[in-house]
A = this chain, B = another copy of it.
Amino acid sequence: MADFPVTEHTRVRRLAARGRYDRETIYRILDEALVCHAGFVQDGQPAVIPTLFARVANEVILHGAPASRLLRHVAAGHPVCITVTLVDGLVLARSAFHHSINYRSVVLFGRGRLIEAETEKLRALEALTEHILPGRWGDARRPTPRELEATSVVAVSIDGASAKVRTGPPVDDDEDYALPVWAGVLPLRQQALQPVPDPRLADGTALPDYLARYVAGER
């Protein structure tokens, strides 16, 4: 897969060594993140909205109520910036100055379109549901025509994107390594706890395998 071109918009300027432009890195970060932050401009004001998403090929799918400001904005083809961030750990340096976090983030720019054809809309909703929990679409009740009408689905083409990745131990100034200050990384990870069944769950409904696998971390 070809890299995304490095443009005025997407070039990582601060700590440029952390910048990545290859599609594989960018797609993998997008696919691992549950939530994205979508930024748009309305009357000259910035707005940033957290929302579920899914990547399909080189597009990001968003959905919501047809009256949503974000979705109307994206459906109208206005520019949008979508950012996802995975936090991997606290980076504890000897000096306050060199404190950081280990993270993987993607910033992408694109314009959207409304998905109207029913087949494509269903495929997009399948991707959104499978992004929440792989295996879920085959189990859940599919959308009715009325539900499809009540849902707005948009696709944002990834026109430009960059990733930024920090890994590894802190980097301190040479003269600080002798200081008696504990330094290192505290790894952080999003962890699934035990599933909590709906109080109204129909008797005898077993926990599905795909959910058990997700809880066990085998995704």
Contacts and interface: CB of A to CB of B under 8 A. Distances in A.
Interface of A is mostly: mixed
Contact of A101 (B14, B34, B143): B34
Interface in A85-144: 85, 87, 90, 92-97, 99-101, 103, 105, 107, 109, 125, 129, 132-133, 136-137, 139-144
Interface residues of A, number: 96
Contact of A193 (B105, B178, B189): B189
A83 interface: yes
A169 B40 CA distance: 31
Contacts of A101: 34-35, 52, 132
Contacts of A178: 202
A169 B200 CA distance: 9
Q: How many copies does the complex hold?
A: 2
A79 interface: yes
Given A141-B96, A176-B141, A133 B186 contact: yes
A147 B64 CA distance: 45
Contacts of A80: 46
A7 B35 CA distance: 26
A187 interface: yes
Contact of A99 (B41, B47, B94, B132): B132
Contacts of A85: 35, 37, 50
A68 interface: yes
Contact of A133 (B90, B150, B195, B205): B90
Interface of A: 9, 13-14, 34-35, 37-41, 44-50, 52, 64-65, 67-69, 79-83, 85, 87, 90, 92-97, 99-101, 103, 105, 107, 109, 125, 129, 132-133, 136-137, 139-144, 147, 150-151, 169-170, 176-202, 204-208, 211, 214-215
